[in-house]
Amino acid sequence: SDACTTLCAPPACDDKLKSGDESDVDCGGSCEGCGLGGACVDSKDCGEGTCGGGLCILGASCKALLDGDPGLASGVYTIDPDGMGPIDPFPVHCDMETAGGGWTMVLRVDGAKNTFNYGDPLWTNTDLLNPRDAALHRVEAKLGSWATVKFTEVMVGMEYPILMDPAPMSLKHVEFAATGDSLYALISPGTYIASKIGRDVWKSLIT
């Protein structure tokens, strides 16, 4: 119980019992977070991922993680967009602060290089680039989130002028409404999609 364990001792985080405010045996509540598959009441009971259906699971996106724990900081997290599906979990950078937070990184593009030129197949295929390198820095990447994470908004962050590591990044952002099963699904058909935010807003990224 909350007052006493079967050992007639106060609840502890190492008594091999689910006691006190723990959500599972020796984890959750005021103890360390539970591992994946551990029982939880809310996401604060989980050492990784989020609480879904009473169990600690990997979130499907950064938004899912932030919804489960609004106190999460920006950084690299592991997500699993298809849950029990065939796609392995993968790392992404989550921006938990800008414009309400919960943004899942998909691409890092260096405009001084030709990697992501207009018409390059990388825009219309599911090939990845540096998929395990999910941190926020200047090395180009196309992450697993490209073809897997559903969305209702898109955020573009731009550094201008582009500096060199290890100089800190200072990004300007714009956000606009767009819906898709993934950014790949939105872009790969090659059809025009209006952002509806106007030329001046786009120019604000480089002024």
Residue 24 · residue 41 · CB < 8 Å: no
Closest by CA position to 113, among listed 138, 132, 76, 85: 138
Q: Which two tokens stand for residue 186?
A: 């939105």
Q: Check residue 202 and give its pLDDT.
A: 96
Q: Which two tokens stand for residue 81?
A: 């967009």
Element (H, E) at 57: strand 55-57
pLDDT at 5 over 80: no
pLDDT, tens digit (0-9, with 9 covering 90-100), for 84-114: 899 999 999 999 999 999 999 999 999 899 9
Residue ranges per structural domain of the chain: 58-206
Q: Check residue 7 and give its pLDDT.
A: 61
Task: Determine what percent of the chain is predicted with pLDDT higher than 90.
Answer: 85
Q: Check residue 2 and give its pLDDT.
A: 55
Q: CA-to-CA distance for 11 and 38, rounded, in angstroms? A: 19
Angle CA(105)–CA(77)–CA(184) in degrees, nearest 5?
30
pLDDT, tens digit (0-9, with 9 covering 90-100), for 20-46: 999 999 999 999 999 999 999 999 999
pLDDT, tens digit (0-9, with 9 covering 90-100), for 164-196: 888 888 999 999 999 999 999 999 999 999 999
Kindly report the pTM of this predicted structure.
0.87
CATH code of domain 58-206: 3.90.215
